[in-house]
Structure 1
Amino acid sequence: MAGVGGVVGGVILDESVLLASQQLQHPDSSSSSSHSSSNCASFQPDAHFLLSKLRHSNIPTGISYGPGLEAHKVSILKEVATQYSIHCFILDASSIDDTTREVKLAWSNIGGCILYLVSNKKRDIYPKLSKCGWLITILNVEGSSACENSSMVYINKLQELPLTICHINRKAIGNSVVTVGYIMKPSREEDFAKRGAFPMYPTQDGLMFVPLTFELPLSPQLQEVDVVLHKATDEIISIDLNSSLQSSNTITYSRGMQELQRYMEHHLDLCVIDPLNYIYPVLDRLKIQHILLGLEDLKTRGCRAIRGANFLKVDDFNQAGLIQSLSEAKLALPSIVKPQVACGVADSHSMAIVFRVEDFKDLTVPLPAIIQEYVDHSSTLYKFYVLGEKVYHAVKNSTPNADTLMKLSGSNELKPLVFDSLKSPPTTKGNPNSGDGNSSKATDHCIDLELVTSAANWLMRKLELTIFGFDVVIQEGTGDHVIVDVNYLPSFKEVPNEVAIPAFWDAIKKKFELKRTT
């Protein structure tokens, strides 16, 4: 193993920083009795935060405890170790040699030193572990701020450890590593992290990821990173569509995101994927529809067209002349109705498919709204992902054709189909056009990849986004390729990890290198 000056190749968390003791009152005892309470261990809430970050970090992680620890506490630790798929080691001053051998066997391919996080109550264990090349990191030293010396590191909170690892590794490796700080909601982070997208240990092409948290001051965290990767839409509180989305003043972010926004505005040399003003168009379905109008000049030699869906913005479903407006917008029924706000707020995915003009008046879709052409597409949706200069796609089942939708609505009344597009889009079992890949109408051969790739490159230049996605359906009869949705920083989970993750890293690295040279 490398000495203290090397990168952190493994992390061991001592039970003294993971378990919290609390006094529980016996119900049959007087509060004045000296024997009226007993110690009960619980797991520190911040420890779950830390373990969730380390779990998929590409850094081996373990928990240690002394041989005399109470059985119920050991049980808690082992349960947590199983939950996070990490090792458990028995460690005290008398068993250091045995434990270090066990760690080497468990982590035979470790690429750096062991960082051992422990409380200052176990000082007797520090010297010998330091001699073994372990980096002793001490939590909660009263009166101390987060700092380091030649053999020890001091931190005040468990949440500081990922940033501490980042700092140590940057110092050991030097300028050859690019550090990416990322912020997104926990469920999204978990989806990316479990695919190996956010390693804290440097990748072969020199990227290292560190989670940013609004629970700690942002400025010290951001000083450690070269690139900020964000999903700002996770932090939107409200959007005002009465003014232009060209201005950030129309979007109200969480307090933490506002702090991040101010930092980015005052540190223009920081590489951001992507600047907040670049994502504003994908928040507004009307703005995206207008942008997609520019696709009309893209055609292949086969003269197939790629376009956005026909659309109409409405501020009131009871507005006068709605029938005429629909006709002028080349909209026939059924049509799909979507909120103008595309993401980030409640009900942005609340939609409806309307079959009769008179049913618009009682519609519950939030206003302002976009009435959009419903394209018969054999229940087949093509999801495209742009990762830097690379374009990937996947085929998914989608909503059925209009005639089948009418059966779902009810043959007599044709009531609007109201649904949440993320949870319960209209489908039908046994649909012959299910888009399962077996139908001649629903195979990969239908898609004109040259045409859609041209559109992807056009959108990349137009939107100036590094990572985005869009959905394409192929209109029955005409063969038109219709883009029905555009979104920022999608999960691209349909693309195999061995393909998607290197492309994801490459897109980030190239964006950083471009920023550095401009």
Structure 2
Amino acid sequence: MGVVRGVILDESVLFAEGDDDKNVSLLQPGAESLIRTLFLSRIHLGISYGMGIPNDKVSILKRIASLYSLDCFILDDLISEVMPAWSNTDGSILYLVSNKKEFLPKLNNHSWVIIALKLGGESSCETLNMLQIENLEELPLTICHLNKRSTETNTLTVGYIMKSSRVEDFAKRGAFPLCPTENGLMFAPLTSKLSLSSQLKDVDIVLHKATDEIVSIEENKLTFTHNMQELQKYLEHHKDLCVVDPLSKIYPLLDRVEIQKVLLGLVELNTEGSYSIRGAHFLKVDNFDEFNFTTGLAEARLSLPCIVKPKVACGVSDAHTMAIVFRVDDFKNLNVPLPAVIQEYVDHSSTLYKFYVLGEKVFYAVKKSIPNADILMKSYNGDDLKPLLFDSLKSLPTADSIHDSGASNSNISIDLKLVTDAAHWLRKMLHLSIFGFDVVIQEGTHDHVIVDVNYLPSFKEVPDDISIPAFWEAIRNKFDCRVV
């Protein structure tokens, strides 16, 4: 058999049992989720049904087919209807059917891979070529297993674990194909519906966004979701499994103080007569009421206004609650979670450079950002310089929201070599394969200031035809260069 490039889901695996008694048609739990996973994995997908099924079921199937632009057809003793649309499928076709449904012998003539979903009871499907699975969620990894058997030994299965919205973002751009990429990667979701250890046995590489799986952070102790906890336990006993990236390596990015300490080392990249790259000046505060800000700010080389951020960088609901403070007195009773980091506010002409490190490759995009301090004071506060509170994930006071956007940044150019060198330096220091960081250029000094670092960013500002292959290459290189 060849690589599975087409999947046909029979209606017998899509509908829950007992529908007739309830006089209502309900999809199996996980059925539409599986369809969406297969659809986004860029595999040829179809839905089949037999003669005589209730009209309401046919309507549901056709609605789903229309929603995902799938083939929907009758598949009985005569299968000529489906073959013209699938005759150009370059590879094997997989047919998933309930073990209770009578098998169509003519399917063997077309060398289809038959998989029976075990729904209890005796099987009506009798063929030596048939596989069986017990849950719909098993299908993606089963496809990867079949593809690995039919290809060269260097084909690898990447199991990914991240929140659904993150999966959707990557999958929509073609980042998670089930068919092997040019460099031999296949992607399958690791689901909480099945035993994680049983799934990981069929996985060569784990890709995660652990920062999305944090339930709480208390006294520097992380609590992850149950699924991520299970992954942690598994990795402790299977240290040879390739992970992009090891959980221990992302911990510094969860703490704004720790990452600021790392950025202090950028000084070694700076040379006399050239622009400098550095982290923002910062100060950690445990209590707004008891701290001497007049002395503390001066010692930390900070001047007002400042931006105040929680020490915890992600994973909790208020990690992105921030404030821009214009007066010393306003630090007291400031509604930003403690402990906090007071960070230098850099005048940067409303221009932010987002850099993405995908293995050895570095990309960037330019975005609108927060205006200079004088524009903020004039446009947002007027004579009342009260702190400006915002959630950095939801709404930034960008230059687009202000008619008077201040000085033009046309005379400020970025030193790409300097920042690229910094990207490689950070990659080496952090031991990460895929991460991002934000750079602003300070007016006057032209200092290149890194103001944020994050793990596994979406990098969606970079065109997919460039970023996605680089993403795959970074994952593959992580595996090929691993030390076991």
**Same fold per TM (> 0.5)?**
yes
TM-score by length of 2: 0.95
* Whole-Å separation in 2 of the counterparts to 1:149 and 1:65: 20
Unaligned ranges ≥5, structure 1: 25-36, 244-249
Q: How does 1:452-463 map to 2 (within 5 A)?
A: 452-463=419-430
Amino acid at match of 1:329: A
Distance change in 2, residues 1:64/1:233 (3 Å): same
Distance 1:442 1:382, change over 3 A: farther
Contact between 2:285 and 2:291, CA under 8 Å: does it hold in 1? no
**Conservation of the 8 A alpha-carbon contact between 2:375 and 2:405:** no
1:29 matched to which residue of 2? none
| 1:285 and 1:340 in contact (8 A); partners too | yes
Counterpart pick for 1:113 among 88, 92, 101: 92
The CA deviation at 1:256 is: 1.2
Considering only aligned residues, what root-mean-square deviation do their CA atoms show, in Å?
Answer: 2.1
1:433–1:442 CA contact under 8 A, matched in 2: no
User: Aligned to 1:122, which of 73, 77, 101?
Assistant: 101
> Aligned equivalents of 2:12 and 2:29: distance in 1?
14
Q: Which residue of 2 aligns with 1:471?
A: 438
Cα distance, 1:414 vs. partner?
A: 1.0
| Aligned mates of 2:121, 2:207 — CA distance in 1 | 34
In 2, the alpha carbon distance for the partners of 1:111 and 1:220 equals: 31
The residue that corresponds to 2:14 in the other structure is 18
Amino acid paired to 2:226 = R
Aligned to 1:53: 37
Instruction: Map Cα deviations across residues 382-427 of structure 1 (whole Å, 9 max, x no partner).
Output: 0000000000000000011101111243212211111100101113
Change (3 A) 1:111 1:144: farther
1:335-484 to 2 correspondences below 5 Å: 335-428=306-399, 429-433=401-405, 441-442=409-410, 446-484=413-451
Contact 2:100 2:121 in 1 (8 A): no
User: How far has the Cα of 1:176 moved from its partner?
Assistant: 2.1
Q: Is the 8 Å Cα contact of residues 270 and 277 (structure 2) preserved in structure 1?
A: yes
* Alpha-carbon distance between aligned partners in 2 of 1:211 and 1:82, rounded to the nearest angstrom: 24
Q: Distance in 1 between matches of 2:321 and 2:45?
A: 42
Corresponding position of 1:41: 25
For the Cα contact (< 8 Å) 2:353–2:365, is it kept in 1? yes
Residue 322 in 1 paired to residue 280 in 2? no
Instruction: Tell me which of 130, 153, 172 is aligned to 1:175.
Output: 153
**Alignment size in residue pairs:** 481
User: Which amino acid in the other structure matches residue 184 of structure 2?
Assistant: G
Mapped to 1, the partners of 2:291 and 2:240 lie a distance apart of: 51
Identity over aligned pairs, percent = 60
Among candidates 175, 186, 207, match of residue 208 of structure 1: 186
The 8 Å contact of residues 330 and 387 in structure 2, kept in 1 or not, is answered as yes
The reply on whether 1:99 has 2:82 as its aligned counterpart is: yes
Q: 1:152 aligns with which of 97, 121, 130?
A: 130
The normalised TM-score by structure 1 is 0.89
Equivalent AA in structure 2 for residue 142 of structure 1: G
* 8 Å CA contact retained: 1:380, 1:442: no
Give the counterpart letter for 2:268 in structure 1: D
Q: Among 77, 84, 92, which residue is 2:61 paired with?
A: 77
- 3-state SS of paired residue (1:313): strand
CA distance in 2, matches of 1:98, 1:339: 61
CA–CA separation in structure 1 for the residues paired with 2:127 and 2:209: 36
Q: For 1:165-184, what per-residue CA distance to the aligned partner results, in whole angstroms no more than 9, with x for missing partners?
A: 11111122241201111111
Give me the whole-angstrom Cα distance separating, in 2, the residues matched to 1:164 and 1:138: 12
**Structure 2: runs of 5 or more not aligned:** none
